[in-house]
Amino acid sequence: MQNKKAISEMISYVLLIVIAVVMSVMVYAYIKVYLPKSQPSCQEEINLILNNYVCDIQKGILHLSLTNKGLFKVKGAYIRIGNSTSKTTLNEANQYFYEGSSVGLSPGNTYSRPFKIPTRNFPPGSYNLEIVPIDVINNKAIVCEKAIISQPIECK
């Protein structure tokens, strides 16, 4: 009688271990199938530099000069202006850099372009300019969060 109790106790431990292993295999399979694969990200060495700017509120123009000081081609950037509570994207319709017929700003090259500022929202004063580089991977625009430029500017 004593041996039967010991055997049933061993069987219960074996069953517990088997159930734990089966559950862990099921969780692993679920995670493998349903969690997204690695997200595409920007190259580490993307580096845009703001060379110069002219902000003329009366004309509604912000003219920027940017240079790519990184090691890789930068496809474009979101240009935002505003204060600490709200920012307006100036180039939502066209955020890509164009060099001739190709898209992107090659390393060492400079891109200069005026952007239209909505004058009704921006009286003359101090603002924060934010330049958010983007790359295109698999036809999707990827924001380069580590390369964001944020600089105070004065608009007259």
- The model's pLDDT over 82-132, given as tens digits with 9 standing for 90+, comes to 988 888 888 888 888 887 778 889 999 999 999 998 877 788 889 999 999
Asked if 81 contacts 130 with a C-beta cutoff of 8 angstroms, the reply is yes
Task: Please count the CA atoms within 13 angstroms of the CA of 55 that sit on its side-chain side.
Answer: 20
User: Distance between CA atoms of 63 and 37, rounded to whole angstroms?
Assistant: 40
pLDDT of residue 123: 86
Number of domains composing the chain: 2
* In a domain? residue 77: yes
Q: Which of 33-47, 121-135, 137-151 has the lowest mean pLDDT?
A: 33-47
Query: Which domain does 31 fall in, by range?
Result: 1-35
pTM beyond 0.75: the answer is: no
What is the mean predicted confidence (pLDDT) over 31-37? 82
pLDDT band at 6 (very low <50, low <70, confident <90, very high): low
Contacts of residue 45, defined as CB under 8 A and 6 or more positions apart, other chains included, come to: 70, 71, 72
* In a domain? residue 144: yes
